[in-house]
Amino acid sequence: MLEVHVVTDCNRFLYAQDGPPARLALPFRRSDPIPARLLRGDDLPGCPDPVEEGGTVLLGLREGQIVAASRLMPPHGPTRLQGLPPPITARGLPAPAPWADWTRLSLPTDTSLEDQEAIFAAMACAVVDYCLEEGVAWVGGIEDAYWLPRWDCLGWHVEVLGLPAAIGGATRVAAFLRVDEVSLAAARRRAGIRHPLLRRHGPQARFLRAGPPHSFSTLRPETDHAC
């Protein structure tokens, strides 16, 4: 069974490569560090440390080994949606609402396709569960187009915000999935999961800051993106 641990700037010391202090021993053993690519900001201009800037890393552990990881960035921090051409986000979300930029998802490559799909579905459950707990209404971002059918297979309601564009040598779209109990239940059915996977250890940081929500839409001046 996968456990998905919530790592923020407040508790990242517990997951450091040299481990937590003995007095703060965690109820699990971990033999490998957080994947370095999740701690780099090379996909977030001007952001050397995404976790320090308010990001959350979700670590998928199985028998103490990190087998998957994902990263979410809040709207008040650096995101991949900054500086995009207006047509990519022109439609916007259906209504102004708190959102999260799902910036990275790391899955194992040394296992069977069936196992990879099971881990993907479990991590998807954890992302939606975390967003529900933190009051996030939409999660997504700039995605490779091939992700959309996978989201559809999970039974999610997906909003594409505008036209596709060639970004980084691939066709990408701005797309967000609606976060609600229906989405969580659908993902859990797909993954065969009946119980929450999230685990929180140590001090926790809130994901969202107070502020007016917005929809990204250039057609709604009153809800302009202000990150």
Domain interval for residue 137: 3-223
CATH number at residue 180: 3.40.630.30
Specify the DSSP class assigned to residue 97.
B
**pLDDT for the residue numbered 130:** 95
Residues 6+ apart with CB under 8 A from 185: none
DSSP secondary structure, 36-86, as one string: HHHH--TTSTT-S-TTTTT-EEEEEEETTEEEEEEEEE-TTS--TTTT--G
The pLDDT of residue 222:
31
- Per-10-residue mean pLDDT for the chain, 227 residues long? 89 71 46 55 61 87 84 84 81 80 79 84 92 94 84 88 84 90 91 90 86 50 31
Number of domains, the chain: 1
One-letter amino acid identity for 171? T
- Report the distance separating Cα 203 and Cα 111, nearest Å: 34
